[in-house]
Structure 1
């Protein structure tokens, strides 16, 4: 089964780009040879049927719908799709003034303030670029439509990044600190593993430190956590690594540090004090 799934992925890496290229050609008014169109569509149909057959077989072997999809689709692809969906859903939450992952009794600490100006400035530049390209490509309606869709999506994507930062704050619960950044960073650190926490304002970070996780906002971090036991940090495409030092930023870093210190003290009271 694993060899079959691997073979299907290899075919997908060839057929799907060919299908996309065919669609672009048709939208641009270019007519590929009939044989090429027939071969591409036939290969796409066979790929879909084969994927469906393998999915049914995995379900019969006891896999859930989610685990069967994970077997068929590479993790990196699933994570990229999931990231896009998180950004779009964050825009909805932002408009509705709601937050994600903040339960009763949890403390939320925002981290979007110091990058808001840069994000909105970038979005403004993209809007200006969209208007300019619409004017320049007005005589080529097909190209204009394609570029317009890409430009609008870029603006929505940028707004989604900010919305995700606003609606997905750092969350401190009774026993876990959850660190987040937009839709691609989500790390849970048990409070019992935090050996020390200190205020440390940094504007440069060494990316070669494998055991250090930097979560900067506006190119800065202001809190440094050193762990007694490493935690697993998962990258955007699914790469996992063990980290023993975490640097992060919050809008009110000192308030987060104070609450974190209090929460850690509640877990391990000083000797002689009743629990």
Structure 2
């Protein structure tokens, strides 16, 4: 199996709960708790997660494109658009295990509920969800439902642009995680994110992949989305550095949600008339 294929499989297991085919040793490769592991075809062939970051926008794009196509299928089957979008958002939770939403809620509880870095990190590791986390989760879910609905109702988008808009937004969200990794350092010496150290030049492939997906929507809105993702990633990285000393997996998940929603907002506001 090629190196790139192994890296993609590793990224897939990190970001989704969808099982893959059995590997050459008969083990079933699946998502679930694989976010805290490396993926191997054999015990000797480890794939560091830092080498998989190029594939994160690809996987995000696939999830976004699938979501758009599923909305179309449901609408063609007679389901009202707003209800179809609701079911698709729920389906995304199953696909990803609500990985990013969980990170957003934990980050909200920790960053806004703790009085010092140690307490904030402890809260973020607590499996219980507080009021800030609940509010963040509800707002994120409502935001995605509203944004998807707005995109689907944007008159200047044709069907292909609608699919690409949802795909590009999800890709830019995952790109944002890579950017935060390249701009900051781990807040902990252990944990899933502590071993993912990404140099700034490793952002280039994810940026190019996200741009390629987004250019089908429009040059100007996609350039705006790229700028927004960079600025938001810088803001998140700096804020996390001040509050807890760097990034955690929860910070990365929160980044993905924030940037995806921002990209959807940009596409909805600018429409499909911009080159």
- Give the structure with the larger helix fraction: 2
TM-score (norm 1): 0.22
Structure with greater contact order relative to length (CA < 8 Å, sep ≥ 6): 2
TM-score (norm 2): 0.22
Asked which structure has the greater CA Rg, the reply is 1
